[in-house]
Structure 1
Amino acid sequence: MRFFLIAAFMTAVLSAGSGCEKKQADANPFFTVWDTPFGVPPFDKIKNGHYKPAIEKGIADHAAEIDSIVANPDAPSFENVIAALDRSGELLKKAYAAFAQVKAADSNDELQEADLAIAPAVSAHYDDIYLNDRLFEKISAVHEQIGGMALSAEQVRLTEQTYKQFVRAGAQLNARQKERLRDINRELSLLSVRFGNNLLAETRDFTLVVESSKDISGVPQTVTDAAADKAKEMGMTDKWVFTLSPPSMIPFLTYAENRGLREKLYTGYVKRGNNGNQFDNRQIVNDIIRLRTEKARLMDYPSYAAFVLDDRMAKTPERVYDLLDKLWKPALDTAKRELETLRAIKAKETQDSAFAAWDWRYYAEKVRKSQYNLDQTSLNLYFSLDNVRSGVFQLSNRLWGLTFRPVSVPVYNKECSAYEVLDKDNTHLGVLYFDLYPRDGKRGGAWCGTFREASYGTDGKRIAPIVTIVCNFTRPNGSDPAQLTLDETETLFHEFGHALHKLFSQVRYAGLNRVERDFVELPSQIMENWATEPEMLRLYAKHLVSGEPMPESLIRKIRKSRQFNQGFATTELVAAALSDIDIHTIEDYKPFDPEAFEKEALNDKRGLIGQIEPRYRYPYFNHIFNSGYAAGYYGYLWAEVLDRDAFEAFVESGDIFDKATALSFRKNILERGGTQDGAELYRNFRGKDPDITPMMVKRGLIKPVEPAADSVAAATPVVPQAQ
C-alpha cells in the first residue's frame, strides 16, 4: 500500500509558528485545487506554516475515510474495502510528499524541529490503520474470497499485498503486543529524525579553513575558486574553505599535496556523529537497534534482518551473505594488490611507505594518470552538466522516443528546473524536476523522489507523475557551466533511471507502485552502463570550449580504465553492506560500541585493511538509520547482478540502442511497478534468472571466459527463484 510507504519515509513534517498559524491556514494552498501547470505543487504560495495544518487535516480526513470503510454495512468486497483503502488519504499523501521532498532538499532549523513534533503523530496514525481490528477483519474477508471473485490479476495482487502488509504491520498481534508495537514505532520515528538532524548538523558545521596558497597546491582551480567563494560567503578574505560536500571534499582528497590537511578533512568526514558532542549518534544507533530487534521478536522473527528480508527478493539473511561472501574475498584481494602499487609510489616520492586511508584517492589518481594517461580534470571538460543532461535525454529518445521540454512551473528553490516529459506519440508522460547543486540544508548524496506518483482516477484516466531528481554536484565556476566528474556523470544517469521507472509507471492502483528494495535499483543502475559506452560518449561528451566530440583516443582510455581502483570501490561497498546486515542480524540486543562492533566484524573477522573504511560507518549511515535501507544496503549489489545481466540483453542484440529490447524492458519492468514479484518481472524480460558473472567481470573480480563454439556457458543464478 502507498500509505505504508509514507509511514516508512517518516523523515519530515512541517510546523508553523503559533502566532500566524491561523492566518496561514485560512489560505492554505493544500486545501484548494491546484491550478498550476500539470498540477504541480504551488511552491510560490506554500509557506512553512501551511504544512502542519494540511498534514493534520490529512490525518483527520484519512481517519474518517477509514471509519467509513469499517462502518459500511455491505458485504466486504474488493471495491468497498481494498480499492477504497487504496484510494484513501489523498490530502495526507499530497501534503506529506511535498514536505518530505522539500525538507530533504531545502531544510532549515524550523523544519527539523517540526519533524520531531509531527513524526510521532503520523506514525501513530498509520498504526491506527494497520492495527484496526475491524478493518483487518474486512480485509481478511476479501482475502479469503479471492478465488471466488471475478478479479483482474492486478486486483488479486493488490488484495494479497494489502493483506500481507497488514500482517507485517502487526494486525494479528494481541492487544498488549499491539500497544508495545505502537510505542516502538513512535520511538523509532523520533530516533530516525534525530539521527538525520544530527548528521546534517555535523556535515554542515565542519569546515577546513586554509590560509596559505601553498596548502592548496595540486587542487584544481575550479575547486579552489569555489572554496574561495565559500570563504567569502562566511566573511573570510584571502582564505579557502573546504566542506564535507562531495564536490569540495573529493577533489581535495584526490589532488591536495598537503597530507596533513587531507587527513584533517578525511577525519572530519568519517568522525561525523562520533564526536562526543550534542550531535553524537552512537546512542541513537544503540536505541534504534534495540527497538528494531525487539520489534522483530514481537513479529516472531529471530532478527530485524530476517523480518525485513522476508519481504524482499533475497528472502533471508543467508542469501544476502551468500552474495556478499562471493564478492568479499576477490574484492579484498584486488584491493590489497592496488594498495601495494599505491604504497610503492608513495614510498618512492616520500621515502615513507606508511599509507593511510586519506592517501588512497591521492595516489590512485597518480596511478590513473600514469597507467591510463587519464587526467580527471581534463576529462571533466567533456562532461558539462548541460552535456550530460542532454545525454540522458538523447538516450531516452533513442530507446523509447521520449522528448523533454523545458517548462516554467513554481519551484521550492530558485536553483530547480523542470521539464515536461512527452512520450513517443507526444502524449504527456509526466513532469521532471532537477535540483542538482549542494547547499546548506540539503541532505547529502543523490536521490529521486516524487511529488505525485503515477496513478489512475476513478474515471479510468491516468494521473501523470511529478518526479524530482536531487543531487549534490559540482557548481558552475563563474560564467562557466558546471563540469561533472565521471562519477557524477554516472550518478545522473543512475537517478535518471529511477525517474524513468516512475514516469513510465502504468500501475492502476497506488498500492502496487511499491517494488522490493533489492529490485528498485535495477532501473537506475542499468542506465549507468550506457554512460561510458563508446556509442553513447560520441553522442553527448562534447568539449566545453570547442564543442568537439570526445576523441576516440580518450574514449579508449575511459574504456580501458573502467576496472581501475575497483578493488577499493567494491571493498568499501561490500564492507558497508556487511556492516548493515551484521548489525541487523543481532538476535539478543546488548549495549555496544558501534566503532568496536564494526572493527570486530570487518577488520578482525573478515580482514578489512585499515587503509579502507566501509563506505558508511554507523554514526553517519543515513541509508539504514534515517531511510528505507535498514538490512537492505546489500540491494545495490544485488541489483547490480540484475542490471549487468539485463544490459547483456542489449549487447546480445548487437545494438545497445536496440528498440525492441528497450520496449521489452519498458513493458516488463519499468511500467509494471510491483504488480508481480521482482524475480518474476525479471524473468518476463530476460527469459531466465540473472547470472552474477557479468557483474564480477565488470568489476574486474574475475576474467571473462569465452564459451566454446558448440556450447553456452551455464548461468549461475544469484537471485532466488520466485517463492
Structure 2
Amino acid sequence: MKGRNMNPSRSRTFGMTCLLLALAIVGCQPTGRHSRMTTMSDPHWAIERIPLDRSAAQFTNFTREHLAYAQSLLSQTLAVSGPRTIANTLDPLNEMWMHVDLVASHSELFSQVHPDEAVRHAAEEGSKEVSKFVTGLWLNRDLYNAYAAVDVSGADEATKYMVTKALRDFRREGVDRDDATRAKVEQLNQEIVDLGLAFKRNISEDTRHLEVESPSDLAGVPKDLVDAWVKESEKTPGGRIRISTDYPQYVPFMKYAHSDPLRKELMTLFMNRAYPANIEPLTKLIARRDEKAKLLGYANWADYATEINMIGSGANALAYIDRVQGITRAAADREIGTLLEYKRRHDPAAEGVNAWDVSYYLNKAREDRYDVNPQEVRRYFDFPDVMDGLLTVTGRLFDVKYVKVEGLPLWHPDVTAYDLVRDGERIGRFYLDLFPRENKYKHMAQFDYAQGVAGKRLPQAVLVCNFPKPDGTPGSALMEHGDVVTFFHEFGHLLHTLFAGRQTWVRNAGISTEWDFVEAPSQMLEEWAWRHETLKLFAKHYETREPIPADLVAKMQKARMFGEAYHWARQTWLAAISLGYYTADPATLDTTQKMIELTQKYSPVPYMEGTHFQCSFGHLDHYSAVYYTYVWSKGIACDLFSPFEKNGMFHGATARKYRDRVLAPGGSRKAGELVKDFLGRDFTLDAFERYLKQGA
C-alpha cells in the first residue's frame, strides 16, 4: 500500500491534487530568514540536514518554519510585476510546494509511527496546519492566475503537463466559485483532515488480544511461534498466553490453529478493532466528502475521486469490479465448496464455510492437493535472509546497490537507513521501520519522506511494516511466504518513489501518477517472490542452509492458484465497500448495514455477525472511494510483467527499459503513456483475465 501524502489523487484528505513531498531547506530551529529564497548552494539542502527524530517542540517549530518559508515564497511570487515566466513564477512556486510537502510527509509519518505520544500529537497538528495552508493555496485566485499567465508553449512536455494538472486541480477545488462556496470548501477540507486523523489514530492505538490458558490451545500453530508466545506469557500477570491482532501473530494463528472457536474469537477481535470509536468519525468523513463533492457539482464523492484517474468515473469503477466479479465468482464459490469438504472431515455436520475458516482450510487443501506444507516453506524464509534477499534481487534487477547508513538519530531503535546507489552515485535514501510495536501503524505501507527534485534534492522514503522481529537466533523470525510477497510489494512502492526522484517539478516527482496506477509496479514486483530463479538466491533453510528446492517452488506456484479466485472476489468486495460508502446518501447511511448488504452481494463467505470491519478498514480514509485500484492495477501489472516472462526475470535490457520508462518518469506523463512506451502498445486486461481463469 502506498502511504498517504499531500497528493489527493492518492489521498483525498487534504482536498488537493498532485502535491508531492518535499525537501528540507532548514533545520528544526527557526532562522528568522523567511524572506530569502533558498538556492542549490545552500548547505541546508544536503540530505543529512533533513531532520529525523525530534521532540514535540522541535516538530512544531519545524512545521511553522517551513510553512513560513512557503508563505514568503508565495508572497514574493504573487508580487512579481511584468510578464510571468517559468523563472519568476514556476521556479519559486516549486520551492514553495517543496516546503509544504515536507511538512505534510513528516506529519503523516510521525503521526503513525513515532513512539512518543507528544510527538504523534504534534505531527497531527502539523497535518492540520499544512492542510489549512494548502486549502488556502488552491482557493487563491491570484495564485491560479499566476499559473495561468505563464507561457509554457515553448517548454518541455513535463512542464506543460505539470501546469495543466495544476490548473485542473485549482478548478476542482473551487477556485472559480463564489466566496461563500470557497469558504465552505475550506471548512469542509479542514473537517475532513480532522476526521481522517481521528479515524487513523483509533486504528493504530487499538491492539486487542486473545488469551488462552495453555499451549494445548495453540494446537496446529508452528512450534517456534508457540515457544515464543509461551515465553512472552511469562512476562504477563497470570501467565496467560496472549495472541494479538497484530499481523505477526494474527495471520499464523488464523492459518494454523486447529481450534475453530478460538479462530472465531480472534477474528472477531480483529474485525472489531476501533469499534465503536470509529463509527462516528467514519460516518462524518463520508458525509463531509459527499457534501464537498456535491458543492462542486459532482453526483457523489466517488465521481469526484475517480474523475482524474484512469478509470474516469465511479460508474466505470463499479462496472469494472462487477466484470472481475463475473470472472471470479463461480470459481471462488467452487473453491469455497472444496473448503467445505475439508471442513466436513473435522465436522461432518458443517453446513458452510465462515470467514474464520478460510485461511485454515485453504492451508489444509493446498497441503493435501499440492503437497505443499507451509510449515516446511516457512523454514526457508527467516527474516534476515529475506531482508538480504530482497536487496540482492532488486539490486541485480535494477542495477543498483544499497549501502547501510549507521549512526543516524532515528525515531526508534528498530529503524534502519540505507542509501540507494547507482553507478557509484547516491540517488536516494530510505528508512525501514519493519516490526510491530504499540501505537504504531498496523498495516504495511510506504510513506514519502522527501520527494526528490533534479539538481536540488535527493528523494527519501520510509517503509513501514509489521513483520516478525528476529532476536539474533536463526529461525526466530520465520516468515509466511505471503509476508515475503508483501515485502516485495511494498518495496516496489519505495523504489518507484526513489527512481522517480529526479523530476524538475516536485509535483511530477515520485508516485504522482493517476492513483489507480500506483499499485501496478508493486504488484508486478511480487512475481520475483514466486520464481525459483530468484528465490534460490536467498531462501535458505534456517538450519541446513540449503536453498529452497525447485520442486517445492513449483508446488507452491501450483498451490498459489487455488484460492486465487476467492482472493480476487474478496478484493471486489472490498472495492464495493469503498465505492458503496462513497456513493450512498450519507443522511441514511448505516455503515454496518451497508457492509452486510455488500457482503451478501460480493463476498463468497457470509457476513460475520457482531463485527464492524469498516472501523479498521484504513483505506476508507486515504484511498476513500478508490480501493478498486488494487483490482485495476493488477490488470496493468500482469501486462507489464509479460516482457519479463518472455525475456527472463533478470533480463537487463528489459529491466532498464522498465525502470527508465515506467518508474523514473513519475507523474510527468499519463500512466497509460508510460505503459505504452514500455510495451510498445496500449495496455490490455487480457493477461489479467488469463491469469484469473487459471484458477477458474
- Per-residue deviation, residues 210-250 of structure 1 (Å, max 9, x unmatched): 122221122112222333354345x3353211111111011
CA shift in 2, pair 1:34/1:445, >3 Å: farther
Please give the residue correspondences for 1:356-371 in structure 2 after superposition, counting only pairs within 5 Å: 356-371=354-369
Counterparts of 1:541 and 1:413 in 2: how far apart (Å)? 28
CA shift in 2, pair 1:80/1:330, >3 Å: same
Counterparts of 1:36 and 1:155 in 2: how far apart (Å)? 23
Counterparts of 1:49 and 1:169 in 2: how far apart (Å)? 33
CA contact (8 A) 1:306 1:316 kept: yes
Deviation at 1:61, TM superposition (A): 2.4
Which of 310, 313, 316 is residue 316 of structure 1 equivalent to? 313
Aligned to 1:549: 547
Residue aligned with 1:223, SS: helix
Instruction: Confirm whether residue 499 of structure 1 aligns to residue 486 of structure 2.
Output: no
Deviation at 1:93, TM superposition (A): 3.6
Residue aligned with 1:448, SS: strand
Which of 625, 637, 642 is residue 636 of structure 2 equivalent to? 642
Residue segments in structure 2 that go unaligned for 5+ positions in a row: 15-26
Deviation at 1:520, TM superposition (A): 1.1
CA contact (8 A) 1:209 1:239 kept: yes
Counterparts of 1:623 and 1:683 in 2: how far apart (Å)? 29
Which of 609, 614, 620 is residue 616 of structure 2 equivalent to? 620
- Per-residue deviation, residues 79-130 of structure 1 (Å, max 9, x unmatched): 2222221111544443443343232223453345445644433222112111
CA shift in 2, pair 1:231/1:109, >3 Å: farther
Counterparts of 2:33 and 2:59 in 1: how far apart (Å)? 8
Deviation at 1:610, TM superposition (A): 0.5
Residue segments in structure 1 that go unaligned for 5+ positions in a row: 12-23, 704-723
Instruction: Confirm whether residue 600 of structure 1 aligns to residue 597 of structure 2.
Output: yes
Residue aligned with 2:447, SS: strand
Aligned to 2:674: 681
Which of 230, 247, 253 is residue 228 of structure 1 equivalent to? 230
Please give the residue correspondences for 1:274-673 in structure 2 after superposition, counting only pairs within 5 Å: 274-275=275-276, 279=277, 281-354=278-351, 355-408=353-406, 409-423=408-422, 425-456=423-454, 461=455, 463-476=457-470, 479-480=473-474, 481-505=476-500, 506-513=502-509, 514-586=512-584, 588-603=585-600, 605-606=601-602, 608-610=604-606, 617-625=613-621, 627=622, 629-653=623-647, 655-673=648-666
Give the TM-score normalised by the residue count of structure 1: 0.87
Which of 695, 701, 704 is residue 688 of structure 2 equivalent to? 695
Counterparts of 1:477 and 1:341 in 2: how far apart (Å)? 39
Deviation at 1:471, TM superposition (A): 0.8
Instruction: Confirm whether residue 106 of structure 1 aligns to residue 108 of structure 2.
Output: no
Residue aligned with 1:327, SS: helix
Counterparts of 2:87 and 2:402 in 1: how far apart (Å)? 37
Q: Which amino acid aligns with 1:645?
A: D
Identity, % of aligned positions:
24
Q: Which amino acid aligns with 2:492?
A: G
CA contact (8 A) 1:344 1:353 kept: no
Which of 150, 156, 175 is residue 152 of structure 1 equivalent to? 156
Residue aligned with 1:455, SS: coil
Deviation at 1:669, TM superposition (A): 0.7
Aligned to 1:249: 250
Q: Which amino acid aligns with 1:84?
A: P
How much is the aligned-residue C-alpha RMSD, in angstroms? 2.8
CA shift in 2, pair 1:511/1:477, >3 Å: same
Counterparts of 2:603 and 2:103 in 1: how far apart (Å)? 48
CA contact (8 A) 1:226 1:477 kept: no
Counterparts of 1:617 and 1:48 in 2: how far apart (Å)? 33
Aligned to 2:23: none
Q: Which amino acid aligns with 1:656?
A: M
CA shift in 2, pair 1:36/1:165, >3 Å: closer
Q: Which amino acid aligns with 1:504?
A: F
Residue aligned with 1:656, SS: coil
Counterparts of 2:527 and 2:652 in 1: how far apart (Å)? 16
Aligned to 1:126: 134
Aligned to 1:271: 272
Counterparts of 1:6 and 1:57 in 2: how far apart (Å)? 27
- Per-residue deviation, residues 664-711 of structure 1 (Å, max 9, x unmatched): 1112111101111111111111112223232233344567xxxxxxxx
Aligned to 1:178: 182
Counterparts of 1:8 and 1:58 in 2: how far apart (Å)? 21
Deviation at 1:422, TM superposition (A): 1.3
CA contact (8 A) 2:203 2:442 kept: no
CA shift in 2, pair 1:119/1:26, >3 Å: closer
CA shift in 2, pair 1:245/1:689, >3 Å: same
Give the TM-score normalised by the residue count of structure 2: 0.90
Q: Relative contact order, CA 8 A, sep 6+: which one is greater?
A: 2
Comparing 382-391 with 151-160, greater Cα deviation is found at 382-391
CA shift in 2, pair 1:99/1:225, >3 Å: farther
CA contact (8 A) 2:434 2:465 kept: yes
Instruction: Name the count of aligned residue pairs.
Output: 667
Deviation at 1:315, TM superposition (A): 0.9
Comparing 318-327 with 630-639, greater Cα deviation is found at 318-327
Deviation at 1:188, TM superposition (A): 0.8
Q: Which amino acid aligns with 1:663?
A: R
Deviation at 1:141, TM superposition (A): 2.0
Deviation at 1:37, TM superposition (A): 8.6
CA shift in 2, pair 1:333/1:6, >3 Å: closer
Q: Which amino acid aligns with 2:634?
A: E
CA contact (8 A) 1:29 1:50 kept: no
Counterparts of 1:538 and 1:662 in 2: how far apart (Å)? 20
CA contact (8 A) 2:253 2:263 kept: yes
CA shift in 2, pair 1:138/1:643, >3 Å: same
Aligned to 1:20: none
Aligned to 1:212: 214
Deviation at 1:26, TM superposition (A): 6.0
Comparing 221-230 with 575-584, greater Cα deviation is found at 221-230
- Per-residue deviation, residues 325-359 of structure 1 (Å, max 9, x unmatched): 12113322222212222222222223321432212
Q: Which amino acid aligns with 2:204?
A: L
Comparing 266-275 with 476-485, greater Cα deviation is found at 476-485
Residue aligned with 1:295, SS: helix
Deviation at 1:491, TM superposition (A): 0.9
Q: Which amino acid aligns with 1:553?
A: D
Residue aligned with 1:420, SS: strand
Counterparts of 1:474 and 1:219 in 2: how far apart (Å)? 15
Counterparts of 2:192 and 2:673 in 1: how far apart (Å)? 33
Q: Which amino acid aligns with 1:438?
A: P
Q: Which amino acid aligns with 1:181?
A: V
Instruction: Confirm whether residue 79 of structure 1 aligns to residue 87 of structure 2.
Output: yes
CA contact (8 A) 2:107 2:124 kept: no
CA contact (8 A) 1:566 1:700 kept: no
Counterparts of 1:357 and 1:689 in 2: how far apart (Å)? 39
Q: Which amino acid aligns with 1:639?
A: S
Counterparts of 1:383 and 1:92 in 2: how far apart (Å)? 41
Q: Which amino acid aligns with 1:493?
A: F
Q: Which amino acid aligns with 2:507?
A: G
